[in-house]
Structure 1
Amino acid sequence: MSSVIEITDAQFQQEVLESKQPVLVYFWASWCGPCRLVSPSISWAAETYGDRLKVVKLEVDPNPDARSKCKVEGVPAIRLFKDQEILESSEGAIGKQQLQTLIDNHLN
């Protein structure tokens, strides 16, 4: 059972871009109400897909470099990376079903 890994700008290159497996990056902020709604789905994704997908979360305010690199305009935001490329992008609150579809489209 995998859990969500909390990272910073300093870890972004190694944990996301250099990862051998696909990585779901969840951008969030402590002041963001919709982020609190999406968080349980992110944890669910880590537990469900942990054998095939790395799930990381990055708080946007103290980590402007990764936010800028991924062109995150608002939170919550999700980026699905594979081989240093963004395969899928989502901004705003999404439900568990939408998240599952987003992931399944690229893992299956």
Structure 2
Amino acid sequence: MATTAVTDASFKSDVLESDKPVLVDFWADWCGPCKMIAPALEELSEELGDKVTIAKMDIMENPGIPGEMGVQSIPYLVLFKNGEPAAQMRGAAPKGQLKQWLESEL
């Protein structure tokens, strides 16, 4: 299962109303660290797809939700459970660290 693109318009249905946890990666095309963690997130999506949906939101194309959430630096990962932010991580990290953090929060 690959990562899912989420937009301002689809955020409510794709993230807040999801029946399983959703990790949202707030990113932008010009962000080097965002590009560094993208392959790891794709791999984690495959490995943990039955437990969590991994979604990506381009903050340049979708400024509404990141603005509402006060996103000031990227990459910014937010895990939503039952429609509420449950955990967050700022900055890039190696895949092993991302996986360990995510599994501990699920």
TM-score using structure 2 length: 0.94
The corresponding residue for 1:31 is: 30
Matches within 5 A, 1:86-97: 86-97=85-96
For the residue of structure 1 that corresponds to 2:47, the secondary structure is helix
Alignment of 1:80 onto 2:79: yes
For the residue of structure 2 that corresponds to 1:88, the secondary structure is strand
Cα shift at 1:23: 0.2
Would the aligned equivalents of 1:88 and 1:102 in 2 still touch at CA under 8 Å? Answer: no
For the residue of structure 2 that corresponds to 1:62, the secondary structure is coil
Overall identity of the aligned pairs, in %: 37
The corresponding residue for 2:53 is: 54
Shift >4 Å, 4+ stretches: none
CA distance in 1, matches of 2:54, 2:69: 16
Q: How many positions carry a matched residue from both structures?
A: 106
CA distance in 2, matches of 1:68, 1:54: 22
Structure 2 gaps, min length 5: none
CA distance in 2, matches of 1:52, 1:64: 28
CA distance in 2, matches of 1:98, 1:86: 20
For the residue of structure 2 that corresponds to 1:39, the secondary structure is helix
